[in-house]
Structure 1
Amino acid sequence: MKKILLLEDDMALHETVKDFLEAQDYEVLSSYDGEDASEKAYEHNFDLLLLDVNVPKLSGFELLHELRERQNQTPAIFITSLNGIADLENGYDSGCDDYIKKPFALKELQLRVETLLKREFYHNKSEEIALSNGCSFDAINDTLKQNDTPISLANKELKLLKLFLQHKNELIDHEVIENRLWEYNEISSESAVRTYIKHLRQILGKDSIVSIKKSGYKFIHK
């Protein structure tokens, strides 16, 4: 189940959007001001951010700029009544991925959410990402396959694999891995990460994930 942070201070619109998204099988966490949304974004790993701009305490623009500076790259859609070119430019400059103007149809919101979530792996045009050892990853259904046979992964193994696929051939440091795999109220474990890495190497090949001493890991994708 994909997890969405909804920041909207209009109570009626908030409840309408929340109920609609939950009916589409999304998990939705609510915020009504920017500071609370900032705390929730720190405490949870979200798949998508839906952010109103003109909200109390911290605007949507300020919030997303702050999150991007914290290296939080969660896809974000602004929901706003602002419609000037300068506002649009400000929104994209702060790091958003899409923009939907009020009033909007719920079906339009659904399409934008679904489209953005499908772009999780650098706008990959295919649903299947080819990997080594006869493996592929179904980016739509979050399924790892080997010779077309689905392979079961633990929840955190799946999160780790997706992180690697989003940052192919890049060094991912230990802190980023810990922040992605564990929620704020969980205790991270380096030994658990090593176990997940070992399992993924067994599936994808021992040279698929390189350990960079005292720094992190790099997923090799040719």
Structure 2
Amino acid sequence: MAKILVVEDHKELSDLIRDSLTANECLVDCVQSGPEALNQLRLYEYDLIILDLNLPGLSGIDVCRTFRQHGGNTPVLMLTGNRTIDDKELGFEAGADDYLCKPFHFRELVLRANAMIRRGVGQAANSSILTVGNISLYIKEHRITKNDIEINLLPKEFALMEFFVRHPNQVFSAEALIQRVWPSTTDSSPETIRSYITRLRSKLGASEDDPVIATVHGVGYKLVTSHP
């Protein structure tokens, strides 16, 4: 499940963008100014940034340039009402990856967003079926199986499991999992993560020999690859 930051000062348009992306099963955070965007990017990681060119406080060009200068490599889709090549050139020079001119069709926005996210996270995102060891995740159907037995998961449990399956054997702290799987406006805590991990282990039949999600004490959690 991709996490996207939308930076757009017109709330009505921002809400429509959010709704379109949410319907496409993305997690979406929205802010309305340049300084808010940079602050959000300091606190959270995203798979895509949708950035309006004209923003209060700091322009989209300046936000993009500052983000890139500080090592940010998240794909940036710039939105603008300006169709001149000079304006687009400024955006590309600042580090934007693509441009979409207003007014635009929301279906095109979603298509571009999906394409940029695929390029950003690699070819695994292109697949509708993810398999790690004896666990298979069917993205489009929102299904998960272990040893070919289907497991019923709640939406947030599925989102957390999808993140683990995309990053097998990598350790993530509770805070990192909150940043990547929960919207920033959600009041979540390490206790929330522990609760979800416990439920996932129970539903996936974890055992001492097959912990599924292992605790790395003092660090975090990781999906342990297992082979049938």
Partner Cα distance (2:186, 2:44) in 1: 7
Corresponding residue number in structure 1 for 2:202: 199
Q: TM-score, structure 2 length as denominator? A: 0.64
Partner Cα distance (1:74, 1:202) in 2: 36
Unaligned segments of structure 1, at least 5 residues: 93-97
Contact 1:169 1:219 in 2 (8 A): yes
Partner Cα distance (1:143, 1:119) in 2: 24
1:87–1:113 distance in 2 versus 1, CA, 3 Å: closer
Q: CA deviation at 1:195?
A: 0.8
* 1:135-166 per-position Cα deviation (integer Å, ceiling 9, x unaligned): 31123344323466642213442232122123
Corresponding residue number in structure 1 for 2:52: 52
1:44–1:172 distance in 2 versus 1, CA, 3 Å: closer
Corresponding residue number in structure 1 for 2:133: 132
Count of residue correspondences: 211
SS in 2 for 1:77: strand
Corresponding residue number in structure 2 for 1:35: 35
1:38–1:20 distance in 2 versus 1, CA, 3 Å: closer
Partner Cα distance (2:45, 2:199) in 1: 19
Q: CA deviation at 1:91?
A: 1.9
Residue 218 (1) aligns with residue 198 (2): no
1:80-95 equivalent positions in 2, closer than 5 A = 80=80, 81=82, 82-84=87-89, 87-92=91-96
The residue type paired with residue 83 of structure 1 is K
SS in 1 for 2:88: coil
Moved more, 27-36 or 154-163: 27-36
Corresponding residue number in structure 2 for 1:143: 143
Partner Cα distance (2:37, 2:13) in 1: 19
1:16–1:216 distance in 2 versus 1, CA, 3 Å: closer
SS in 1 for 2:179: helix
* 1:175-199 per-position Cα deviation (integer Å, ceiling 9, x unaligned): 2124345555334406415414523
Contact 1:174 1:216 in 2 (8 A): yes
Moved more, 99-108 or 201-210: 201-210
Partner Cα distance (2:188, 2:68) in 1: 21
1:72-83 equivalent positions in 2, closer than 5 A = 76-80=76-80, 81=82, 82-83=87-88
Contact 2:7 2:52 in 1 (8 A): yes
Partner Cα distance (1:100, 1:45) in 2: 21
Partner Cα distance (1:68, 1:143) in 2: 40
1:206–1:200 distance in 2 versus 1, CA, 3 Å: farther
SS in 2 for 1:113: helix
SS in 2 for 1:83: helix
1:18-29 equivalent positions in 2, closer than 5 A = 18-19=15-16, 22=19, 25=23
Higher relative contact order (CA 8 A, sep 6+): 2
**What is the root-mean-square deviation in Å for CA atoms of aligned residues?**
4.4
Corresponding residue number in structure 2 for 1:101: 100
Q: TM-score, structure 1 length as denominator? A: 0.66
